[in-house]
Amino acid sequence: MQKKGVAILGSTGSIGTQTLEVIRAYPDKFDLQVITAQSNAPLLIEQAKLFQPNAVVISDESKYQEVKDALFSEDIHVYAGNQALCQVVEFNEIQIVLTALVGYAGLRPTLAAIEAGKDIALANKETLVVAGELVTARARAKGVNIYPVDSEHSAIFQCLVGEFHNPVEKVYLTASGGPFRGWKADALKSVTPAQALKHPNWSMGAKITIDSASMMNKGLEVIEAKWLFGLKNEQIDVIVHPQSVVHSLVQFQDGSLKAQMGLPDMKLPIQFALTYPERFKTDFPRFNFLDYPQLTFEKADPETFRNLQLAYDVLEKGGTAACALNAANEISVQLFLEEKIGFLDIARINEQVMLQTPFIAAPGYEDYVETDRIAREIVLKQV
């Protein structure tokens, strides 16, 4: 078998480093072509020396010389800046691009990879939230596959294997409920970033961890599911499942439910996205039922966790609404982490900005760019 050429956008993050673990486990299956980072030069250099990719990109141009000097004696191309991200994904040797960068920044390189005919292993859910209609249309036009990395969407994808011609009645996205499951607004008012950063089941980057605490993550995943699987809004339901063992479920038109289960470990969905339709043997710890004598399920609380409701609202509205919500959320999460706003302000600001940002019903790429820019500006003006 020919090795699969892989690019990892965001190799220094939580998903990126776990993807490298997967790649390292199968040296005869994968050929790592490109790794990239925003600004963590030391880790990018270390990874480059270890994995010997064809090229690395450091988005922060002020770190270029540091990376260039450190890799001087290696046979590795070094590039800097955001434009370079869009160019390196086009290399001939790449078959699949794993998008593990955070937020709206993933949109342009993902589109560039699609235009170059590369399959996408998509962790960067914000790309589909911002411009799911455009991205999936371009992928269809180019005959490119988008394989989910997000555990819930990987679960749905795994349930659909062998069922592609059978209509889906409904999908259930499971949610852990995060660190504040069951809390009400009064208690949430004064929570700190440190509290919100303590996720009960998953260790992830800061932005998605705050999104998990505010239920924005589940809202973004509802939108992601719509575009990945071509679902109507009312076909996507959220159920809180604190043990994070059932990763999501699909209900078919005969009423049968299929679930995908396992220990919470992102390496499995990452690996499946890279190896589909094959499953490679792993030595990951196996699930033990007796460690989980009870699996429980609860209703979500979109009144307290407003972000979840906002996600359904923007789905209903379509156009650039989700793009505006995403942009507002990226800034409000950052402001919360900087302790400039409170936890409940995140959803409050998100809602206001989503309503104030000019709406475009049938957007093209430039409209998304403009919407993202305006929404960010509105947040910063208000705070």
Write the single-letter amino acid at 301. Answer: D
Look at residue 37 and give the partner it binds from ligand NAD, Mg ion, none, a contact being a CB closer than 5 to 8 Å depending on partner kind: ligand NAD
Residue 101 lies near ligand NAD (rule: CB under 6 A) = yes
Output the smallest distance, CB 362 to ligand NAD, in A. 26
Binding pattern to ligand NAD, positions 57-86, x when CB under 6 A?
--x---------------------------
Distance, in Å, from the CA atom of 284 to the CA atom of 371, rounded to the nearest integer, reads 43
Which residue lies nearest ligand NAD, judged by its C-beta? 13
Q: Which of residues 143-162 bind Mg ion (CB under 5 A)?
A: 150-152
Rule CB under 6 A: choose which of 124, 174, 244, 248 binds ligand NAD: 124
Closer of 102 and 156 to ligand NAD (Cβ): 102
Closer of 10 and 132 to ligand NAD (Cβ): 10
Residue labelled with tokens 């040797």: 93
Edge-first strand order for the sheet with 298-299 is 257-261, 246-252, 168-175, 236-240, 298-299
Output the smallest distance, CB 8 to Mg ion, in A. 18
Burial of 53 (0-12, 13-18, 19+ CB in 10 A): buried
Binding pattern to ligand NAD, positions 336-365, x when CB under 6 A?
------------------------------
Output the smallest distance, CB 67 to Mg ion, in A. 31
Closer of 40 and 352 to ligand NAD (Cβ): 40
Distance, in Å, from the CA atom of 180 to the CA atom of 183, rounded to the nearest integer, reads 5
Residue 211 lies near Mg ion (rule: CB under 5 A) = no
Cβ pair 100, 13 in contact under 8 A: yes
* CB burial readout 179-200, b (16+ within 10 A) else e: bbbebeeeebeebebeebeebe
Q: What one-character-per-residue DSSP string does 205-236 give?
A: -HHHHHHHHHTHHHHHHHHHHHHHHT--GGGE
The residue count of the chain comes to 383
The footprint of Mg ion (CB under 5 A) covers 150-152
Q: Which residues bind ligand NAD (CB under 6 A)?
A: 10-16, 37-38, 40, 59, 100-102, 105, 123-126, 150, 202, 204-205, 208, 266
